[in-house]
């Protein structure tokens, strides 16, 4: 089978011909149709992700496809069933052997591109806003990096959950996409003062931040008393140092979230979230935004779209 692998850090992926895997007990063999790319994939290539696999490794954190083989003891899935999975690695290949208990059956109404764009982006935002921050209707939600893979889902879900959504992105084109996803207010991070505008709107009750750096600092200073801040990543390259005195004076809460960690820490958090999200999708209340779909051979070009911040929403690689 063909697979795009990280052979050495800070180098392009290499297209390899590998032996097809065999499902072990508790695993299923999946013929992969699509793979959703994520900022974490870039960190794996650099060797700076929180999980550091041995090289060579097949890249691709989330995948969608069809079950074509069952390992011993698998009773919850059937051959021919369509699934999506957060696998961590292995999505940029024609086949993968993965644990059956991480597979999420997907409805007939969800096509393979939507399925590969769904789990991490919507799952991260839903767990962050619902389980961690307990976002309430009428609260003001500030979303940084709002046109990106996870940011755009935070805008969409925040609006669905009844919040007043303030979206921060760079440039008019990206802000228009945020507006289409439901944002009530738009801030251009390249030319406008985030702190001043948010304070003029009445302050932030919840901050959703995959960016870090100066934007986090500005957002924190625009928070209302008892606001909750969600640092989800550091796409700016700068991990903010949080001044405890501001937390103290405003009674702020900083809620860290490593979404993938719940697969081991408390899997029910993810499964309950997926159930709700798929219900919303089937009801027509969610629609993944995918800006680019490229074939497996162009996975490096697909990653460059993330690296150069040229994508909005998700980038998906079509495997078959």
Residues 130 and 256 in one domain: yes
- Provide the residue range defining the domain that includes 242: 120-260
Residues 160 and 171 in one domain: yes
Cβ-based neighbours of 50, under 8 Å, separated by 6 or more? 258
3-class SS of residue 59: coil
The whole-angstrom separation of Cα 294 and Cα 292 is 6
The whole-angstrom separation of Cα 127 and Cα 17 is 37
Residues 124 and 247 in one domain: yes
Cβ-based neighbours of 146, under 8 Å, separated by 6 or more? 152, 154, 155, 167, 168, 169, 174, 178, 183
User: CA distances (Å), 236 to each of 26, 117, 120, 277, in order?
Assistant: 39, 23, 20, 29
Domain total in the chain: 2
Please count the other Cβ atoms lying within 10 Å of the Cβ belonging to residue 161: 16
Reported as type and span, the H/E element at residue 254 is strand 253-254
The whole-angstrom separation of Cα 221 and Cα 102 is 39
Query: Does the reported pTM lie above 0.75?
Result: yes
b or e along 229-251 (b: 16 or more beta carbons within 10 Å of the residue's beta carbon)? bbbbbbbbeeebeeeeeeeeebe
Residues 177 and 97 in one domain: no
| Nearest in space to 277 (alpha carbons), one of 102, 110, 32, 88 | 110
Residues 185 and 169 in one domain: yes
Decide: 28 and 81 in contact? Cβ < 8 Å.
no
Decide: 28 and 103 in contact? Cβ < 8 Å.
yes
The whole-angstrom separation of Cα 163 and Cα 159 is 5
Which of 260, 277, 298 marks a domain boundary? Answer: 260
Residues 28 and 80 in one domain: yes
Residues 32 and 149 in one domain: no
Q: Residue 33 corresponds to which tokens in the numbers above?
A: 């149709």
Residues 114 and 10 in one domain: yes
The whole-angstrom separation of Cα 72 and Cα 88 is 22
The whole-angstrom separation of Cα 210 and Cα 262 is 18
pLDDT tens digits along 196-237? 999 999 999 999 999 999 999 999 999 999 999 999 988 888
- Digits of tens for pLDDT over the chain (320 positions)? 999 999 999 999 999 999 999 999 999 999 999 999 998 899 999 998 878 889 999 999 999 999 999 999 999 999 999 999 988 899 999 999 999 988 999 999 999 999 999 999 999 999 999 999 999 999 999 999 999 889 999 999 999 999 999 999 999 999 999 999 999 999 999 999 999 999 999 999 999 999 999 999 999 999 999 999 999 988 888 888 898 999 999 999 999 998 988 888 888 898 889 889 999 999 999 999 999 999 999 999 999 999 998 988 899 999 98
The whole-angstrom separation of Cα 255 and Cα 263 is 18
pLDDT tens digits along 125-164? 999 999 999 999 999 999 999 998 899 999 999 999 999 9
Residues 14 and 98 in one domain: yes
Instruction: Specify the length of the chain in residues.
Output: 320
Strands 14-17 and 27-36: unpaired
Q: Is the C-alpha dihedral spanning 50, 53, 55, 58 positive or negative?
A: negative
**Does 234 fall in a domain?**
yes
**Does 273 fall in a domain?**
no
Residues 233 and 300 in one domain: no
């Amino acid at each position: 089978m063909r697979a795009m692998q990280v052979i050495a850090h800070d180098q392009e992926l290499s297209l390899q011909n590998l032996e097809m895997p065999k499902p072990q007990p508790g695993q299923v063999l999946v013929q992969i149709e699509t793979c959703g790319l994520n900022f974490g994939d870039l960190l794996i290539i650099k060797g700076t992700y929180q999980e550091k696999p041995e090289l060579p490794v097949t890249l691709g954190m989330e995948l969608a496809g069809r079950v074509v083989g069952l390992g011993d003891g698998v009773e919850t899935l059937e051959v021919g069933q369509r699934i999506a999975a957060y696998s961590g690695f292995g999505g940029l290949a024609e086949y993968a052997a993965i644990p059956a208990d991480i597979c999420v059956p997907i409805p007939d109404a969800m096509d393979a591109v939507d399925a590969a764009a769904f789990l991490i982006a919507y799952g991260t935002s839903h767990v962050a806003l619902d389980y961690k921050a307990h976002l309430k209707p009428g609260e003001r939600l500030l979303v940084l990096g709002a046109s990106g893979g996870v940011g755009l889902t935070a805008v969409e879900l925040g609006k669905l959950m009844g919040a007043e959504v303030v979206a921060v992105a760079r440039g008019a084109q990206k802000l228009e996409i945020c507006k289409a996803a439901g944002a009530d207010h738009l801030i251009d991070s390249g030319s406008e003062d985030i702190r001043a505008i948010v304070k003029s709107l009445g302050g932030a009750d919840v901050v959703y931040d995959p960016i870090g750096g100066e934007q986090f600092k500005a957002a924190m200073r625009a928070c209302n008393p008892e606001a909750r801040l969600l640092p989800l990543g550091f796409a700016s390259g700068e991990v903010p140092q949080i001044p405890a005195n501001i937390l103290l004076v405003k009674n702020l809460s900083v809620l860290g979230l490593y979404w993938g960690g719940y697969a081991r820490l408390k899997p029910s958090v993810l499964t309950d979230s997926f159930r709700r999200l798929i219900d919303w999708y089937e009801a027509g209340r969610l629609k993944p935004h995918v800006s680019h779909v490229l074939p497996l051979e162009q996975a490096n070009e697909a990653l460059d779209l993330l690296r150069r911040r040229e994508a909005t929403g998700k980038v998906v690689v079509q495997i078959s």
